[in-house]
Structure 1
Amino acid sequence: MFIHLQYLLTLFVKPSKLIDMSKSAQIRVRMSSHDAHYGGNLVDGAKMLQLFGDVATELLIQRDGDEGLFKAYDNVEFMAPVYAGDYIEASGEIVSEGNSSRKMNFVAKKVIVPRPDISPSAADILEEPIIVCKASGTCVTPKNCQRK
């Protein structure tokens, strides 16, 4: 059975003692062969936007206690290719707020790459992660759904 750690903390720790995680969020995933959409095991750029959507959802839950809605991206830049086997770290932060809107910035970085030239299971951790995508957008949590 999976129980979220933050939920468990609310059972045993006073709310004032909980860690404030509302400033940023991060997810790290390995791109699989199922994510490869094009020749040469190239992953569709839309996969990065999917990761940003997951990061945005976590940020809204942290900030408002609700998943909210992703309204629009105002900028998306694809900066480097992503391939099956790459490990991608997507992160985001809330940079400004309105009554119900949350402006967010996102970045996705390649942090581990496969090394099939050495062996089928070899991989390297990159000393300097490669930025593969940057984006900014606006999410909304309706006032009646905000719990924090």
Structure 2
Amino acid sequence: MEKVMIRLRMSAGDAHYGGNLVDGAHMLALFGDVATELLIREDGDEGLFFKYTDVDFLAPVHAGDYIEAVGYISEKGNTSRKMEFEARKVITSRPDISASACDVLEEPEIVCKAKGICVTPKDCQRK
């Protein structure tokens, strides 16, 4: 089972709510990017995201946090690809100390989990 991972820092521009809180939909956008890479690696095509079958938002994400989004294909049909995703906070911002303080977390904190289904039409599959 091949896993794909992207890591990025949430910027002030990603913050959507008071207290520099990043909206949960941003995690789903990261999962969409992970899914696209998984489909390219599996089928040689970006495919299409069909639906999320399960989403759990487990912890807040703030501007300045570093998020690692990972995913893998858990089941493969003729055109469908069931996937599982997890977003983890690996560095957290510490505005209580200073505007630029951050801590590396000893253990990543799971902030969101999801399952979804993507489709790569048969005529687009190159592998």
Q: Structure 2-normalised TM-score?
A: 0.97
Please state whether the residue corresponding to 1:108 is helix, strand or coil: strand
Q: Which runs of 5+ in 2 are unaligned?
A: none
How many residues are matched?
Answer: 127
Bigger radius of gyration, 1 or 2? 1
**Which of 98, 105, 108 is 1:129 aligned to?**
108
Structure 1 runs, 4 residues or longer, greater than 6 Å off: none
Please state whether the residue corresponding to 1:84 is helix, strand or coil: coil
Residue 94 (structure 2) pairs with residue 94 (structure 1): no
Residue 122 (structure 2) pairs with residue 143 (structure 1): yes
Please state whether the residue corresponding to 2:52 is helix, strand or coil: strand
Q: Percent identity?
A: 71
Please state whether the residue corresponding to 2:13 is helix, strand or coil: coil
> How much is the aligned-residue C-alpha RMSD, in angstroms?
1.0
Question: In the alignment, which residue of structure 2 is the partner of 1:10?
Answer: none
Q: Structure 1-normalised TM-score?
A: 0.83
Question: In the alignment, which residue of structure 1 is the partner of 2:16?
Answer: 37
Aligned partners of 1:53, 1:75: CA distance in 2, in Å?
Answer: 14
1:51-105: per-residue Cα shift (whole Å, max 9, x none)? 0000000000000000000000000000000011100000000000000100000
1:101-144: per-residue Cα shift (whole Å, max 9, x none)? 00000000000012233333221110011100000000000000
Question: In the alignment, which residue of structure 2 is the partner of 1:14?
Answer: none
Q: Between the two structures, name the one with larger relative contact order (CA 8 Å, sep ≥ 6).
A: 2
> What is the CA-CA distance between 1:145 and the residue it aligns to?
0.3
- Equivalent position amino acid for 1:30 in 2: R
**Which of 53, 72, 77 is 2:32 aligned to?**
53
Aligned partners of 2:115, 2:83: CA distance in 1, in Å?
Answer: 6
